[in-house]
Amino acid sequence: MAEPDIPGASIRQRAQTAEADVKELRVKIDVSYHLKLHALKLLRNKKMSDAIEEALDYYFEHVVQAGPDLDAAARDADDEAKRLF
């Protein structure tokens, strides 16, 4: 059983807890994002769910963790993504 989410817990503790609690989400995305995810799936020889997980991990690691310089980080992430596709 997963530990409760403690506000002062480290990111690593939260990540370990989150791994045990997998949630399924249904979202609507733009067709261009779907095509990019499909390309990532094909290029990396992965399942779509794994491609989505990789894309989200990258997003949260490089864009969300950027903090106050979020706009610059978002531009950098977009540039990086454009290089992939």
Instruction: Report the C-alpha gap between 80 and 40 in whole angstroms.
Output: 13
Q: Is 4 helix (H, G, I), strand (E, B) or coil?
A: coil
Give the pLDDT score at 31. 93
Per the CB < 8 A criterion, the answer to whether 40 and 54 are in contact is: yes
Residues of the chain with confidence (pLDDT) below 70: 1-20, 64-75, 77-85
Q: Is the pTM of this model over 0.85?
A: no
Domain limits, the chain: 29-84
Digit-coded pLDDT (tens) for 5-26: 555 556 666 666 656 677 788 8
Give the pLDDT score at 1. 45
